């Protein structure tokens, strides 16, 4: 008992300033909410105040745990929500269909757009990194004890997506197997319902009720977003600091420039020419999703907000949104799988003195560094990936 008391006293003594700072900002954000200040504005205020708090704490070499603990709670609540939300929404959206032809049509279009936009992101990342010549002048030597990451074979990636024990995979937070399991159940409901609608009516009613309940839970957690955003930022800014940002300034600037270019040009063009919607209006309406995704760095953390934005602000059919949004959060990595991985590949090759040719951008080849040494013998044909440049997926 004395140990617990001592731990509590120590935690209070070392974190009272950051805890007090969090309480003050939370009160401010609550007052803004009571005065009906817009959700996006409150998220932005939380983000700015979180950045300021992180810089201030780092300047005085103070702990940020009093604030970041609230951020960890917010992320845990989001993770709590993801698996049941994906399962229920996908099950509801597909089982509500009357035939499978519509499912094949929307599924094909969704995957095609995902692949196309991710490919465009990779091209933009390669071009931006090459033009900015990132990594030039920096040289890194790998230590002798360095062990490269194991890169799974494509067959292993496919197998990891196939559900074998949906309950266990749900407990492990694996979204794609759960999504596939939900699709199988939904297709079975459609098939049985086509023969005898009365047999599946209780199941459909239950799914519809669960959907309404999950939407309410989403609303509860979305209301916490401005507070969660504020609590997440100080830990990031205090941990890395200005000196780290200066050292990797070229990579950071190139990454954001490429991401903005991809977002504005690729998505803007799709919205304008395909959806026939004004891109400025579109960007304004999806601002809450952008703010949450930027601060949490997590597709799954942004999923509840994204669903709310798609259905309420963009007026997309819930049937479409509840299928496409969870699938996009699971496999559509325009940023981390397209733009970012291309930039990291060029940057890593540069700092390890590996000369990349045009052929290296499109297929695998064995390349040696100028020192004549492979970075990793087990992945000699992709040394920049062996060095850890196969893409930062962020918090998923």
Is residue 64 assigned to a domain? no
The per-residue pLDDT for 172 is: 85
Residue 390 lies in a domain: no
Would you state the pLDDT for residue 363? 53
Q: What is the pLDDT of residue 173?
A: 81
Per-residue confidence (pLDDT) for residue 385, from 0 to 100: 35
Domain-embedded: residue 351 = no
Secondary-structure percent of the chain, ordered helix, strand, coil, rounded to 5: 75, 0, 25
CA distances from 86 to 16, 219, 295, 326, 337 (A): 38, 15, 22, 6, 21
Structural domain includes residue 116:
yes
Number of structural domains (the chain) is 1
| Structural domain includes residue 144 | yes
Q: What is the CATH number of the domain that holds 106?
A: 1.10.3860.10
pTM recorded for the entire structure = 0.67
pLDDT for res 124: 92
Residue 192 lies in a domain: yes
Closest by alpha carbon to 49, among 23, 75, 11?
23
Q: Residue 262 belongs to what domain range?
A: 83-225+244-339
Per run of 10 residues, the mean pLDDT along the chain (length 396 residues) is 48 68 89 87 86 79 77 86 85 77 82 89 89 75 70 79 87 85 89 87 90 85 87 71 61 86 91 90 86 72 82 85 78 82 84 71 47 38 35 39
Flag whether 60 is in a domain.
no
Asked whether residue 365 is domain-assigned, the answer is no
CB atoms near residue 369 (< 10 Å): 16
């Amino acid at each position: 008992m004395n140990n617990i008391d001592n731990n509590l006293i120590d935690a209070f003594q070392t974190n009272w300033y950051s805890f007090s700072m969090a309480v003050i900002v939370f009160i401010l954000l609550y007052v803004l909410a009571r005065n009906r200040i817009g959700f996006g504005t409150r998220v932005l205020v939380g983000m700015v105040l979180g950045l300021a708090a992180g810089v201030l704490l780092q300047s005085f070499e103070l702990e940020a745990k009093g604030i970041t603990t609230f951020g960890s709670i917010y992320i845990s609540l989001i993770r709590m929500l993801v698996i049941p939300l994906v399962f229920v929404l996908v099950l509801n959206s597909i089982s509500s269909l009357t035939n499978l032809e519509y499912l094949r049509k929307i599924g094909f279009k969704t995957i095609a757009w995902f692949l196309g936009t991710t490919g465009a992101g990779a091209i933009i990342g390669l071009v931006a990194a090459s033009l900015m010549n990132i990594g030039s002048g920096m040289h890194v030597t790998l230590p002798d004890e360095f062990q490269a990451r194991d890169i799974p074979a494509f067959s292993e990636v496919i197998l990891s997506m196939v559900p074998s024990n949906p309950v266990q995979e749900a407990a492990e937070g694996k979204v794609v197997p759960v999504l596939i399991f939900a699709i199988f159940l939904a297709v079975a409901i459609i098939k049985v319902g086509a023969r005898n609608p009365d047999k599946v009516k209780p199941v459909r009613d239950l799914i519809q009720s669960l959907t309404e309940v999950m939407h309410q839970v989403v609303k509860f957690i979305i209301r916490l977003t401005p507070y969660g955003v504020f609590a997440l930022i100080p830990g990031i800014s205090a941990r890395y600091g200005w000196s780290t940002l200066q050292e990797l300034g070229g990579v950071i600037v190139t990454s954001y420039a490429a991401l903005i270019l991809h977002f504005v040009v690729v998505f803007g063009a799709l919205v304008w020419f395909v959806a026939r919607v004004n891109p400025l209006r579109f960007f304004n309406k999806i601002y809450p999703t952008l703010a949450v995704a930027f601060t949490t760095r997590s597709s799954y953390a942004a999923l509840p907000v994204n669903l709310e934005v798609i259905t309420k602000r963009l007026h997309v059919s819930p049937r479409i949104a509840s299928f496409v949004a969870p699938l996009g959060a699971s496999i559509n990595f325009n940023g981390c799988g397209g733009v970012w991985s291309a930039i990291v590949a060029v940057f890593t090759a540069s700092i390890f003195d590996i000369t990349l040719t045009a052929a290296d951008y499109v297929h695998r080849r064995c390349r040696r560094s100028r020192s004549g040494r492979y970075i990793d013998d087990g992945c000699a044909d992709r040394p920049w990936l062996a060095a850890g440049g196969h893409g930062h997926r962020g918090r998923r």
